[in-house]
Amino acid sequence: MKTIQAYRFALDLTPAQQRAILAHAGAARVAHNWALARVKAVMDQRAAERSYGIPGELLTPSLSWSLPALRRVWNAAKNDVAPWWPQCSKEAFNTGLDALTRALKNWADSRTGRRAGRPVGFPRYKSRRGTTPSVRFTTGAIRVEPDRKHVVLPRLGRLKLHESARKLARRLDNGTARIMSATVRRDGGRWHVAFCVEVDRAVRRPTRPASVLGVDVGVKHLAVLSTGEMVRNPRHLAAAQARLRQLGRALSRKSGPDRRTGQRPSRRWQRASARLGRAHARVANLRRDGLHKLTTRLAREHGTIVVEDLNVAGMLANRRLARHIADAGFAEIRRQLTYKTSWNGGRLVVADRWYPSSKTCSGCGAVKAKLALSEREYECQTCGLVIDRDHNAAANLAALAAATAGSGPVAGRGADRKTPLAGPVAVKRQPGTASAGQTGTVPPQGGTTDRVLTKAH
């Protein structure tokens, strides 16, 4: 099974190498800003001509937003715009133009309704201080050295790794991997290189292929499983909040940059800003490590995993819980489970957003009309079952897929905004077979709608 996988390694760079990478990142920013100004100028000119009543065939010719078209325009003007362009790799300018192409496409798709989610704004200019330095290489000499402690990138030469690249080197030596691109980026004061690799992965089977697991994520517990296990929420951001406040206050007392007066930041401000950035990076690394360990364990052990389609963006509107929800990483858990279940030969089932997993009794199927968030235990008025609220929701999620395990797509009754007073949740069998490595979305309102299957990447 061929799939796209990323390998990310920390770098140990010399001052000269850091300056070279920053020069490439600056070249990408220059190309991005110049092309964006050109696109905006053409759009504004055409809009002004339309306001004058000029017919469409006489308007200023439009500028294509595709990467090849922007690259041709840049190559024609780069001698005047950036006479120093031979000092940097062509991939640096391609990085900025590619980023602009993606941003314009996302904006256009969002306006026309082809892109789901919140509206995407028009691309903005990239500033030197407000942009994360990054450059992407797709052609040229990109390889891992035989000592597995160095990598070679175009124009940058031989870069030392902070850790061994043996996992990637073994696949490259065996011929089961092919490097497609390499991206150098600075995160939290550290430089990293990420290889985008096409990997030929061996077909795997979960430890328990017939096992069906419901996963209910939350703030009190990071995840409550239908088996009864409750995964503790480490709350890395809350634990580091005192340290972050201290560093933030220390930074505010330093002389920082001011765009209105052109004031440059002091050395002390730069050092304090770097300390604050490292503290935030540590929180992100701890969260990423914990989520990867949890999702890897679940995907390797269970054949079917059921999660909810949560409205995380709407949940973040709650100012009392927004910080804790963002710290838990609900969306990241689902994203990792999506591709890890595919890698391990399992499947991921996504319950409908309005499926009443918390309001439904896992014993008799009765549904409560209302269930306050403060009620941490579920008490069924029909059968008298008393169970933990999150455990009850996880059990309902597992039952949603277990009721039709092995018979193909799962169809369950999705709830609307007005949940009925009582009644069991209907689970209907559907014909067909779902292949391993696919994700399913349980459609609302039961019925005979087949589950929508999408490839897991």
| Known catalytic membership, residue 91 | no
Active-site residue identified among 91, 308, 327, 352: 308
272 and 251 in contact (C-beta within 8 Å)? yes
The token pair at 265 is 């930041």
Q: How far apart are CA 176 and CA 171, in angstroms?
A: 5
How far apart (Å, rounded) are the C-alpha atoms in residues 395 and 215? 8
CA-nearest of 348, 349, 352, 311 to 331 is: 311
- Cα separation, 302 vs 294, whole angstroms: 12
Give CA separation, 93 vs 85, 125, 158, 208, 427, in Å: 9, 15, 21, 49, 54
Single out the residue of 139, 142, 129 nearest to residue 177, CA to CA. Answer: 142
Closest CA relative to residue 300, chosen from 205, 223, 224, 210: 205
Report the C-alpha gap between 30 and 95 in whole angstroms. 10
107's enclosing H/E stretch is: helix 90-112
Annotated catalytic residue within 98, 216, 327, 352: 216
Q: What is the rounded CA–CA span in Å between residue 100 and residue 126?
A: 10
How many angstroms separate the Cα of 162 from the Cα of each of 11, 13, 146, 148?
A: 5, 9, 15, 11
| 332 part of the active site | no
The SS3 call for residue 181 is strand
Q: What own/partner pairs with CB < 8 Å and gap ≥ 24 does 416-422 have?
A: 416/354, 416/444, 416/445, 417/354, 419/356, 419/359, 419/367, 419/368, 419/369, 419/370, 420/367, 420/369, 421/367, 421/368, 421/369, 422/366, 422/367, 422/368, 422/382
| Closest C-alpha among 124, 129, 133 to residue 27 | 133
* Catalytic-role residue among 98, 327, 352, 390: 390
Spatial distance between the Cα atoms of 359 and 419, rounded to a whole number of angstroms: 9
Beta strands in 55-207 (DSSP E): 134-137, 143-144, 150-153, 157-161, 177-187, 190-200
Q: Compute the distance between CA of residue 22 and CA of residue 13 in angstroms, rounded to an integer.
A: 12
Q: Which residues pair with 49 in a beta bridge?
A: none
What residue has token string 């990867």?
292
Please confirm, yes or no, whether 390 is among the known catalytic residues. Answer: yes
Which residues are catalytic, by number?
216, 308, 390
